[in-house]
Amino acid sequence: MSMTQDSFVDDEQDAMMGEINMTPLVDVMLVLLVIFLVTLPVINHAVKIDLPHASSQVANEKPPHVDVAIAADGAIQWDGQPVDAAQLSARIEQAAHQTPRPELHLYADRKVAYEKVADLMSAAQAGGLSKIGFVTAPANRPKS
């Protein structure tokens, strides 16, 4: 009889050991988290450098720019003057040889075909003007 009773006790112990108690593991992780949160602000990764002092003043000069506008009908204006395709490429090359190289500010009518804008951008890039800025009007601005 004792043999059957011993095997029953072994089965109960095996069943109890089949589950892992997660509470100590969670407690250890929370303690580690608190330790890291407390020590992290103390650690400073900054490198102390003695930087030189500049005696010159800041220049508030804006880089030169050229305004190019494309109307809804495809007409192109260079700084307010109407130009055709030949004059446009000549002015782009002339502007590309200036020092410092000017920035191209592109004003395109919202109804102009994208093909016209893409042609102008590729002509500017082929001519040597790589800085192109698109100028838009704010949405809440009244039309003039």
pLDDT in tens, 47-67: 676 666 766 666 667 778 899
**pLDDT at residue 9, rounded to an integer:** 58
Ordered alpha helix ranges (H), the chain = 2-17, 23-39, 85-96, 114-127
For a pLDDT cut of 70, what percent of the chain falls above it?
A: 74
**pLDDT at residue 7, rounded to an integer:** 55
From CA 34, how far away is CA 44, in angstroms rounded?
Answer: 18
The answer on pLDDT for 11 being more than 70 is: no
Does pTM top 0.75 for this prediction?
A: no
Omega before 100 within 30 of 0, i.e. cis: yes
The answer on pLDDT for 90 being more than 80 is: yes
7-21, 44-58, 105-119, 121-135: segment of lowest average pLDDT: 7-21
